[in-house]
């Protein structure tokens, strides 16, 4: 007959050391599942570029030179066929557009 102690010892030998340490210390191992990103945020910030057609005003304000007023103008002028329409529609000045054009995209 197998004792409970020998059964536990046998079971614990088959566990990875991290799980064994967590069990013996009373800690729960952290899940390795990545945190979910809201679809809107994922669409607005895809590939490091901020999509001016989907970004929230807060995401737009994260771009250097874009404050609340410009963010509101960008959101109010949607949709954009391309990012150059920010200048064509008089949403941004040419100098500011040149400064941020490499950080934005206009996806359809």
Phi-psi sector, 80: left (phi>0), alpha (psi -120 to 50), beta: beta
- pLDDT tens digits, residue range 11-55? 666 656 555 555 556 555 555 555 554 555 555 555 689 999 999
The pLDDT of residue 15: 57
Could you tell me how many residues make up the chain?
Answer: 108
Q: β-pairing, 49-51 with 45-46?
A: antiparallel
The predicted model gives 46-69 an average pLDDT of: 92
Separation between Cα atoms, residue 98 and residue 65, nearest integer Å? 11
Greater confidence (19 vs 104) lies with 104
Please tell me the predicted confidence (pLDDT) of residue 108: 85
CA 77, CA 61: separation in Å to the nearest integer?
16
Contacting residues for 51 by C-beta, under 8 A, at least 6 apart: 43, 44, 45, 104, 105, 106, 107
Q: Average pLDDT in the 48-75 region?
A: 96
Domains of the chain by start residue, with CATH: 1-33 (no CATH), 39-105 (1.10.150.320)
pTM recorded for the entire structure: 0.59
Tell me how far apart the alpha carbons of residues 88 and 44 are, in angstroms, rounded to a whole number: 22
The continuous run of DSSP H or E covering 104 comes out as: strand 104-105
CA 50 from chain centre, in angstroms, equals 11
């Amino acid at each position: 007959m197998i004792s409970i102690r020998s059964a536990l010892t046998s079971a614990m030998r088959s566990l990875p050391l991290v799980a064994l340490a967590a069990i013996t210390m009373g800690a729960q191992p952290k899940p390795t599942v990545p945190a979910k990103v809201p679809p809107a945020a994922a669409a607005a910030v895809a590939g490091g570029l901020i999509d001016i057609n989907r970004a929230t005003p807060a995401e737009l304000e994260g771009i250097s030179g874009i404050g609340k007023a410009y963010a509101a103008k960008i959101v109010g002028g949607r949709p954009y066929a391309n990012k150059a329409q920010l200048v064509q529609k008089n949403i941004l000045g040419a100098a500011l557009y040149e400064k941020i054009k490499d950080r934005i995209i206009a996806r359809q």
